[in-house]
Amino acid sequence: MPKSSEIVLNCRHLSGAAPLWMLYQAVRLSPSWTVRLVVSREETARLAIEALQGAGVRVDLDPIGAEFHLMCRGASGAAEAVLAWLTTGADSTKVT
């Protein structure tokens, strides 16, 4: 059950930079200190962790069954850094 100050983004079956675009849009529209990003592929989780940590976001990985939950703390404060990574450093062909 998410906490009231937590945004949960269901990014299952998305790959590459798509979950990061969802995170960026979500924190712009509804700033929240904590975002739970749920992905279904380890490669997607690794790409998201790399990008978010590079943007100064604290990320904890919690594998739950066949899913990967990324607890992103400080995501709203790093929205512009995430956007910069997406527009200059993201390679959506890394993960298919």
* Number of domains present in the structure of the chain: 1
Task: Report yes or no on 94 lying in a domain.
Answer: no
Q: How many residues does the chain have?
A: 96
In a domain, 92, yes or no: no
pTM summary value? 0.81
What's 30's domain CATH number? 3.30.110.40
pLDDT tens digit at each of 96 positions of the chain: 455 678 899 999 999 899 999 999 988 888 778 899 999 999 999 999 998 998 888 999 999 999 999 999 888 788 888 888 888 865 543 433
Spatial distance between the Cα atoms of 73 and 36, rounded to a whole number of angstroms:
9
- Reported in sequence order, the residue ranges of 30-66 that DSSP labels E, i.e. its strands, are 34-39, 58-64
